[in-house]
Amino acid sequence: MPSLEDTLHRTFGYSSFRPLQREIMEASLAGRDVFALLPTGGGKSLCFQLPALIRPGLTVVVSPLIALMKDQVDQLQAAGVSATFLNSTLGAAESKSRLRGLHNGEYRLLYVAPERLMLDNWRDNLLSWNVSALAIDEAHCISEWGHDFRPEYRQIAKLRDLLPDIPVTALTATATERVRDDIVKHLKLRDPEIFVASFNRPNLLYRVIAKDQPAKQIADFVSSRREESGIVYCATRATTERVADALSNRGLTARPYHAGLSAEERALNQELFLRDEVRIICATIAFGMGINKPNVRWVLHYDLPKNVEGYYQETGRAGRDSLPSDCLLLFSPGDAAKQMHFIDEMTNPKEKQIARDQLRQMLEYAETSHCRRQSLLRYFGEDVDETNCEGCDNCLEPRETYDGTIPAQKFLSCILRIRKATPFGVGMNHIIEVLTGAETEKVRKWGHDTLSTYGIGKDLPRPEWAAIGRELLRLGFVQQTAGEYPQWEITEAGLEVLKSRRMISLTKPLASPRKRARSR
- Helix (DSSP H) and strand (DSSP E) numbers for the chain: 22, 17
With CB under 5 to 8 Å by kind, the binding choice for 389 among ligand ADP, Zn ion, none is Zn ion
Cα separation, 230 vs 247, whole angstroms: 12
- Could you give the 3-state DSSP secondary structure of residue 206? strand
Least separation in angstroms between residue 145's CB and ligand ADP is 21
Residues 363-392 that bind Zn ion (CB under 5 A): 371, 373, 389, 392
Q: Is 398 or 483 the residue whose CB approaches Zn ion more closely?
A: 398
292 binds, among Zn ion, ligand ADP, none (CB under 5 to 8 A by kind): ligand ADP
The answer to whether 134 and 159 are in contact (CB under 8 A) is yes
Partner interacting with residue 40 (select from Zn ion, ligand ADP, none; CB below 5-8 Å by kind): ligand ADP
Which 8-state DSSP code applies to residue 141? G
What is the number of other CB atoms lying within 10 angstroms of the CB of residue 179?
23
Phi and psi, residue 279, nearest 5°: -85, -30
Task: Give the H/E segment covering residue 506.
Answer: strand 505-507
Other CB atoms within a 10 A radius of the CB of residue 282 amount to 29
Q: Sheet of 109-112: strands edge to edge? A: 83-86, 109-112, 58-62, 131-136, 168-172, 34-37, 193-196
What percent of the residues of the chain are helix, what percent strand, and what percent coil, each to the nearest 5? 45, 15, 40
Measured from each CB, the residue nearest to ligand ADP is 43
Binders of ligand ADP in range 33-72 (CB under 6 A): 38, 40-46
**What is d(CA 117, CA 115) in angstroms, rounded to the nearest whole number?**
5
* Binding partner of residue 43 among ligand ADP, Zn ion, none, CB cut-off 5 to 8 Å per kind: ligand ADP
Please check whether residue 35 is in contact with residue 189, taking contact to mean a CB–CB distance below 8 angstroms. yes
Distance CA 107, CA 467 (A): 57
Q: Is 507 helix (H, G, I), strand (E, B) or coil?
A: strand
Least gap, CB of 77 to ligand ADP (angstroms): 15
Query: Under rule CB under 5 A, which residues in 154-193 are in contact with Zn ion?
Result: none
Q: Which stretch binds ligand ADP (CB under 6 A): 16-24, 98-106, 231-239, 307-315?
A: 16-24
Residues 6+ apart with CB under 8 A from 245: none
- Look at residue 507 and give the partner it binds from Zn ion, ligand ADP, none, a contact being a CB closer than 5 to 8 Å depending on partner kind: none
Q: What does DSSP assign to residue 388?
A: -
Work out what residue 38 binds among Zn ion, ligand ADP, none; the CB cut-off runs from 5 to 8 Å by kind: ligand ADP
Q: Please, what is the minimum distance in Å from the beta carbon of residue 18 to ligand ADP? A: 4
* H or E stretch covering 308: helix 308-315
Rounded CA separation 466/111 (Å)? 48
CB 396 within 8 A of CB 407: no
Stretch that binds ligand ADP, among 17-25, 94-102, 116-124, 200-208 (CB under 6 A): 17-25
Angle (CA) 488-492-498 rounded to 5° is 85
Q: Which is nearer to ligand ADP, 20 or 235 (CB)?
A: 20
Task: Provide the minimum distance between the beta carbon of 150 and ligand ADP in the complex, in angstroms, as a whole number.
Answer: 17
Output 37 or 280, the one with its CB closest to ligand ADP. 37
Residue closer to ligand ADP by CB (options 49, 269) is: 49
Phi and psi dihedrals of 513, rounded to 5? -55, -35
243 binds, among ligand ADP, Zn ion, none (CB under 5 to 8 A by kind): none
Q: Which does 61 bind (CB under 5 to 8 A by kind): ligand ADP, Zn ion, none?
A: none
| Segments of 241-397 assigned E as strands | 254-257, 280-283, 296-301, 325-331
Q: Give the shortest CB-86-to-ligand ADP separation in angstroms.
A: 21
CB nearer to Zn ion: pick between 234 and 395: 395
Q: For residues 368 and 498, what is the distance between their CA atoms, to the nearest angstrom?
A: 23
Q: Can you tell me the distance from the alpha carbon of 186 to that of 440, in angstroms, rounded to the nearest whole number?
A: 46
Q: How far is the CB of 21 from ligand ADP (least distance, A)?
A: 6
Residue 204: phi and psi, rounded to 5, are -95, 135
Query: In whole angstroms, what is the distance from residue 321 CA to residue 343 CA?
Result: 37
Instruction: Indicate whether 14 belongs to the interface with ligand ADP (CB under 6 A).
Output: yes
CB 117 → ligand ADP: shortest distance, Å? 21
| Closer of 18 and 188 to ligand ADP (Cβ) | 18
Nearest CB to ligand ADP, comparing residues 18 and 378: 18
Q: In the complex with ligand ADP, which residue's Cβ is closer, 71 or 212?
A: 71
Least CB distance from residue 217 to Zn ion, whole Å?
22
Q: What is the contact mask toward ligand ADP in residues 267 to 296, using x (rule: CB under 6 A)?
A: -------------------------x----
Instruction: Work out whether 174 is an interface residue with ligand ADP (CB under 6 A).
Output: no
Q: How far is the CB of 111 from ligand ADP (least distance, A)?
A: 13
- Taking every pair of Cα atoms in the chain, the longest distance, rounded to a whole number of angstroms, is 82
Determine if 208 is a binding residue for Zn ion (CB under 5 A).
no
Smallest distance from ligand ADP to CB 195, Å:
12
List residues binding Zn ion (CB under 5 A). 371, 373, 389, 392, 395
Q: Interface residues with ligand ADP (CB under 6 A)?
A: 14, 17-18, 21, 38, 40-46, 292
